[in-house]
């Protein structure tokens, strides 16, 4: 256990420095600005449940879809050295399928929404999202198309496909279960999307524990030639990363739909792809592929959301938020750049050298 701890700090912290520092800075900034920003209260929601409320909760809750997509994106980035820009559009498709299947079940069995329908609908959404993931993955892994170009196709047409699925309508699905997925489970004060993030993170952790996917993905991302000559099927690994991202897309889409109780193919998780990529980058992962840390990307997602909520709390209008966000992101990216890192590295080693010199002098005297 102690060893694990040490290992985390010697190897992991390097990569997680930027997201952790950013979160700390945001916390300090908010503490100075308005300590009540962090107040967490227990309130009754519309359904009369006791739930946690406050800015922190809405940050963690609001970043759920982003965090889930960032997990999958990290894997794709690591294996392929590129990003999937179609996740928002694919989530709209998955969400549409989710709603469509529920509607079909209700119609066929002429009944209200039942838990079984929702599970079936979710599974269908997963399958569809995985198929689209496999489509992207095939273009990238088999046809060796640049990931951004390959996924540009689905990025462009995804929301049209979503539009066709429900015949252009934006049907609503209202059921206590759906409300619970997008909001709170009665008796549980923590927002369900947050619980889903934890579950997904644990699933990834288990995936890396019980398979050697992490080692293979990193090998393929760092040196595809060597990976192939060591018997790794890099085509399969790349394809698999897109399929796993597909599952993340389906989960994020389902959460998005459940929050509102309806599918709006035009606005569901709109523009989330760029935030997802940003979360991966802030998490200290190289966008060129190779070594990765899923945890970094999750933290990255929370940094982005915290920034957004902080700006809203400062009464910045929603149109201006993007501009302010950009400024902060420029800072984060520059601080995380190799040039600045190297500079700090040199400062640290210099300081250490000075210290040891002083010690040596002291010893002489």
Partner 1 sequence: MQENVLLQMRNIDKSFPGVHALNNVDFTLRKGEIHALMGENGAGKSTLIKVLTGVYQMEKGEIKVEGNKISIHSPQDAQNKGISTVYQEITLCPNLTVAENMFIGRDKKSFINSKARIKRANEILNKLGIPARGSQILGNCSLAIQQMVAIARAVDMNCKVLILDEPTSSLDDKEVNMLFSLMRDLKSRGVGIIFVTHFLEQVYEVSDRITVLRNGELVGEYLTEELPQVELVSKMIGKELEELSSLGESDEKQSAEGEVFYEAHGLSSSEALPFDFSIKKGEVNGFTGLLGSGRSESVRAIFGADKVGGGTVKIKGKKVSITKPVDAMRHGIGYLAEDRKRDGIIAELSVRENIILALQVMNGMFKPISRSEAEAFADEYIKVLNIKTASRETPVGSLSGGNQQKVILARWLLTHPDYLILDEPTRGIDVGTKLEIQKLVLKLAEEGVSVTFISSEIEEMLRTCSRLIVMRDRHIVGELKGKDLNQTQVMKTIAGGEA
* Stretch in the footprint of partner 1 (CB under 8 A) among 83-91, 148-156, 210-218, 263-271: 210-218
Q: Which of residues 30-89 bind partner 1 (CB under 8 A)?
A: none
Interacting residue with partner 1 among 353, 354, 355, 358 (CB under 8 A):
353
- Is residue 218 a contact residue for partner 1 (CB under 8 A)? yes
The site for partner 1, by CB under 8 A, has a size of 25
Q: Can you spell out the DSSP letters for 142-196?
A: TS---HHHHHHHHHHHHHHHHHHHTTT---B---HHHHHHHS--TT--S-HHHHH
What's the closest the beta carbon of residue 285 comes to partner 1, in angstroms?
A: 12
- For partner 1, what does the binding mask look like between residues 263 and 302, x meaning CB under 8 A? ---------------------------xx-----------
* Stretch in the footprint of partner 1 (CB under 8 A) among 169-177, 217-225, 307-315, 325-333: 217-225
What's the closest the beta carbon of residue 168 comes to partner 1, in angstroms?
A: 43
- Is residue 137 a contact residue for partner 1 (CB under 8 A)? no
- Is residue 126 a contact residue for partner 1 (CB under 8 A)? no
Neighbours of 274 (CB within 10 A): 12
What's the closest the beta carbon of residue 214 comes to partner 1, in angstroms?
A: 9
Interacting residue with partner 1 among 33, 144, 209, 322 (CB under 8 A):
209
Q: Which of residues 175-204 bind partner 1 (CB under 8 A)?
A: none
Residue number with CB closer to partner 1 (240 or 307): 240
Q: Can you spell out the DSSP letters for 225-237?
A: HHHHHTT--HHHH
Binding site for partner 1 (CB under 8 A): 10-11, 209-213, 215-216, 218-219, 222-223, 225-233, 290-291, 353
């Amino acid at each position: 256990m102690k060893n694990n701890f040490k290992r985390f700090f010697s190897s992991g912290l390097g990569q997680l420095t930027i997201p952790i520092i950013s979160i700390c800075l945001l916390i300090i900034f908010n503490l100075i600005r308005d300590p009540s920003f962090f107040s967490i209260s227990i309130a009754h929601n519309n359904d009369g449940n006791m739930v946690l409320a406050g800015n922190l909760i809405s940050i963690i809750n609001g970043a759920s879809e982003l965090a889930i997509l960032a997990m999958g994106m990290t894997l794709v980035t690591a294996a392929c050295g590129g990003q999937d820009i179609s996740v928002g559009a694919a989530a709209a498709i998955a969400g549409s399928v989710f709603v469509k299947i529920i509607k079909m079940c209700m119609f066929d069995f002429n009944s209200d929404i039942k838990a079984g329908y929702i599970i079936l609908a979710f599974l269908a959404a997963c399958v569809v999202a995985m198929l689209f993931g496999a489509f992207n993955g095939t273009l990238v892994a088999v046809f060796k198309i640049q990931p951004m170009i390959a996924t540009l196709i689905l990025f462009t047409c995804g929301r049209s496909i979503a539009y066709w699925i429900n015949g252009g309508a934006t049907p609503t699905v209202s059921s206590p279960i759906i409300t619970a997925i997008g909001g709170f489970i009665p008796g549980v004060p923590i927002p369900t999307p947050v619980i889903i993030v934890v579950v997904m993170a644990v699933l990834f952790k288990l995936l890396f524990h019980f398979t050697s996917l992490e080692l293979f993905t990193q090998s393929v991302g760092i040196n595809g030639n060597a990976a192939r000559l060591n018997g790794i099927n890099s085509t399969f690994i790349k394809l698999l990363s897109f399929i796993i991202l597909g599952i993340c897309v389906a989960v994020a889409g389902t959460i998005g739909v459940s929050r509102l109780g309806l599918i709006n193919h035009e606005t569901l998780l709109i523009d989330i792809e760029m935030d997802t990529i940003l979360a991966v980058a802030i998490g200290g992962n190289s966008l060129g592929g190779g070594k990765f840390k899923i945890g970094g990307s999750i933290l990255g997602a929370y940094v982005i959301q915290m920034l957004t909520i902080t700006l809203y709390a400062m009464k910045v209008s929603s149109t201006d938020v993007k501009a302010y966000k950009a400024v902060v992101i420029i800072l984060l990216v520059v601080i995380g750049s190799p040039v600045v890192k190297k500079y700090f590295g040199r400062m640290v080693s210099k300081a250490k050298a000075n210290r040891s010199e002083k010690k040596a002098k002291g010893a002489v005297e």
